[in-house]
Structure 1
Amino acid sequence: MLRFYFASNLQMELCDWLISSVGTFGLVCVCLYGEAAERILSLALAMKDSNPKCHRRRPRDCNDIPELCPSDVYTVYPRYSTGFDVYCEMKIDGGHWTVFQRRENGAVDFFRGWDDYKHGFGDIEHEFWLGNKQMHSLTAQGRYEMRIDLSDFDGNHAFAKYKDFKIGDASSKFKLTATGYNGTAGNSLAHHNSNAFSTKDMDNDNSKSNCATFYTGAWWFNSCTTSDLNGVYFNKTPDQNHDGVYWRTWKGNNYSLKHSLMMMRRIN
């Protein structure tokens, strides 16, 4: 095996890393000096930072991301899909969660129409909705579970976990299946199970009024709601306000939460 030889200790440390990675990345170490060595050093540093072992596959979802890879944005390829980016949460509750919703600071407007919720919007590393179409594509691959993590403005945390989670196709109006609850937040999705998704311009709920408009959100409304994590974000929870980011069985109707994280994971 040939080896890089560099002038500085830092470069020698990189050389050692390259040699240890030959089997993984198929690299060939060669002896270089001066400007040539500096150019190859820059390339090697870029390779090290990009963590190619974690990104080189064609994962179906975050289940297929290697065990020791970090939480990050990855491109996944569900069945019959050309691929799309998701955020993989690799630390919470065993990791390998595909995140499909996050609220954290109100930077993104969630009072949107049907097409936005169908295709997704926001910043995938911060506040976003993955897209109902993508969520269906993922859950159509097999059996999935869901986990929802919630935080209030006093540093308290709770979660809700569902053994069976599925989003129907467009013809079902992206119908929700969420059963088999356990957790600490209470089951505020029980009222919404088996309901179609509704937005301000697509009323699929079971109420005479448009729940999405009335509660300034978008959700699997029934008649109308015991939860809406896509409601208006308030930096300080208001009194007697029913259109915030809320989960009735944990904090009641009038408490708007600081943080929500919704994730799915395939059950092998």
Structure 2
Amino acid sequence: MTTASGGWTVIQHRYDGSVGFYRNLSEYTDGFGNVGTEFWLGLSYIKEIADKGNTTIRMEVSAADGSSAYEEWPEFRLGDAPTYTLHVGGRGIGTAGDSVRYFEQGNNGSDFTATGSYCGDIQHGAWWHNSYCTYINLNGEYATPGTRSRYDNGWGGMVYFSFKDKSSLKMSTIMIRRND
């Protein structure tokens, strides 16, 4: 509750690979895991929270070398089920080095896809995939931090390209907060 002035709801947390994230859309819609360990809150709940007012999404990541970064995007919302299309407004701000604006421009307007979809299967995870899949794959395979995933030439790992290329991350947390 102290991160960036507090008030955040954690919607995803990963740090040791104890919970498998290679799952279908139904599981991502309903949520899985345990809030005391690794989990995904559920798209239906994320949408419900974001629908209550202007919302910011924040992604925090850390790497095997101990470095960490974050990025935030204002005006986060999701479209209706079953696709939960991503919508973010404004530029991302933070330290993750997203100067080419991957999430804001590359994933914005994309549907959430999981196993059974082209990108979900080759990148071994669920995300708001676009036609090139994604450069941020925080729900990908939890590989040994600092190594590359065996899936899709490294893209299938838990990666944030502008932060650590295709090196698998040690930790990721995704949070949302109402702005009003």
Same fold (TM over 0.5): yes
Query: Structure 1: which 4+ aligned runs deviate by more than 6 Å?
Result: none
Q: Normalising to structure 1: TM-score of the pair?
A: 0.61
Deviations 1:74-115 (A, max 9, x none): xxxxxxxxxxxxxxxx11111110110011000000000111
Matched, 1:170 2:81: yes
- Is the partner of 2:72 in helix, strand or coil? strand
Q: Does the alignment pair 1:121 with 2:32?
A: yes
Distance apart, 1:236 and its partner CA? 3.2
Higher RCO (CA-CA < 8 Å; seq separation 6+): 2
The equivalent of 2:176 in structure 1 is 264
Give the whole-Å Cα distance in 2 for the aligned partners of 1:174 and 1:242: 22
Matching of residue 214 in structure 1 with residue 122 in structure 2: yes
Match of 1:188 in 2: 102
Aligned to 1:36: none
Partner of 2:167: 255
Tell me the equivalent position of 1:97.
8
**C-alpha displacement of 1:179:** 3.0
CA contact (8 A) 2:137 2:155 kept: no
More helix by share: 1
* Mapped contact 1:188–1:247 kept (Cα < 8 A): no
Instruction: Give me the CA root mean square deviation.
Output: 1.2
Question: Could you state the TM-score of these two structures normalised by the residue count of structure 2?
Answer: 0.90
Give 3-state SS (helix, strand or coil) of 1:102's partner.
strand
The one-letter code sitting in structure 1 at the alignment partner of 2:48 is: S
| SS of 1:170 mapped into structure 2 | coil
Q: Which has the larger radius of gyration?
A: 1
1:231 is matched with which residue?
Answer: 140
Total equivalences in the alignment: 170
Structure 1 gap segments, 5+ residues each: 1-89, 204-209
